[in-house]
């Protein structure tokens, strides 16, 4: 882990047009190689924050440097896909190509890489997520766990400095979830994981940010934040069972 922050967010605010405020002066930073979790109730602003960090939403106030890129600067924002990769909640939203290989190659081809290099990257990314040999399969016929892995491979093939994962364990059966936890732990790099699955958070992240109503409520070591029953219940969450047993 490097001490240099790869994510530096200062008083970031975003309000949906004619809608409620989604992010209210959010401030935090993430060091290179750090793996942190973003937890909070539904509507807390986790997905909105991710969409801001990958340049889909443009915050109205505050400052944010993502891998050194100022996300409020339109010219710099074009370089974001190479710096930050996001895996969405529902892999069906992310797998739109006709074959697994085409889908994994989609990002690198958009980066302007040569087909030979793209092929190498795509095969390498598929191998990292343990899906060798599925290159010619149709993505939407895969199992939930495989779809999630293909979606992840599609992002890894772009070799981003920061990986954002939105509810990665959603739709997965226990085996798929276990495999995903092992995979995330083995991937390395900087990861920000938004999840309601607090057990998974405990097993993958060392630090937790608690977000509610668009504000950062707590920022600290995962075990400390998640074990605080009063804090968790005040924000619509529960202490994970494994920490309860410890009590």
CA-derived radius of gyration, the chain? 18
Which residue of 49, 158, 180, 211 would you call a contact of other proteins, by CB under 8 A?
158
**Min dist. Cβ of residue 80 to other proteins (A):** 8
H or E, element range at 23? strand 21-31
Please report how close the Cβ of residue 30 comes to other proteins at its closest, in angstroms: 18
According to the binding rule CB under 8 A, does residue 86 interact with other proteins? Answer: yes
**What CA–CA distance (Å, rounded) separates 235 from 58?**
27
Q: Are strands 190-194 and 162-166 parallel, antiparallel or unpaired?
A: parallel
Contact flag: residue 55 with other proteins (CB under 8 A): yes
Q: Does 96 bind other proteins (CB under 8 A)?
A: yes
Write phi, then psi, for 172 (nearest 5 degrees).
Answer: -100, 145
Q: Could you write out the three-class secondary structure of 146-206?
A: HHHHHHHHHHHCCCCCEEEEECCCCCCCHHHHHHHHHHHHHHCCEEEEECCCHHHHHHHCC
Interface with other proteins (CB under 8 A), residue from 25, 31, 76, 90: 90
- 22 contacts other proteins (rule: CB under 8 A): no
Quote the CA–CA distance of 105 and 11 in Å, as a whole number: 36
Question: Counting contacts by CB under 8 A, is residue 58 touching other proteins?
Answer: no
* 69: contact with other proteins by CB under 8 A: no
Tell me how far, at minimum, the Cβ of 137 lies from other proteins, in Å: 10
Kindly list the residues in this chain that would bind other proteins in the complex (CB under 8 A): 51, 54-56, 80-82, 84-86, 88, 90, 92-94, 96-99, 101-102, 105-107, 109-111, 115, 118-119, 122, 138, 140-141, 154-155, 158
């Amino acid at each position: 882990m490097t001490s240099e922050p790869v994510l530096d967010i200062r008083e970031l605010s975003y309000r949906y047009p004619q809608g409620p405020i989604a992010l209210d002066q959010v401030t935090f930073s993430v060091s290179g190689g750090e793996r942190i979790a973003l937890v909070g109730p539904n509507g807390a602003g986790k997905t909105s924050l991710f969409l801001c960090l990958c340049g889909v939403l443009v915050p109205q106030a505050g400052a944010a440097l993502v891998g050194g890129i100022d996300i409020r600067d339109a010219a710099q924002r074009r370089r974001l896909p190479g710096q930050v990769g996001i895996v969405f909640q529902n892999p069906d939203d992310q797998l739109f190509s006709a074959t697994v290989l085409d889908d994994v190659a989609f990002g690198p081809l958009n980066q302007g890489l040569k087909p030979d290099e793209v092929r190498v990257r795509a095969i390498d990314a598929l191998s990292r997520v343990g899906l060798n040999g599925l290159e010619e399969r149709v993505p939407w016929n895969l199992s939930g766990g495989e779809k999630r892995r293909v979606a992840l491979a599609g992002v890894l093939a772009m070799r981003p400095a920061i990986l954002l994962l939105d509810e990665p364990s959603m739709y997965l059966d226990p085996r798929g979830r276990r495999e995903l936890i092992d995979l995330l732990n083995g991937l390395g790099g900087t990861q920000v994981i938004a999840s309601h699955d607090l057990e998974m958070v405990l097993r993958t992240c060392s630090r937790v940010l608690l977000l509610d109503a668009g504000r950062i409520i707590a920022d600290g070591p995962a075990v400390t934040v998640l074990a605080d029953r009063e804090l968790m219940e005040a924000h619509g969450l529960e202490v994970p069972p494994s920490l309860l047993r410890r009590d």
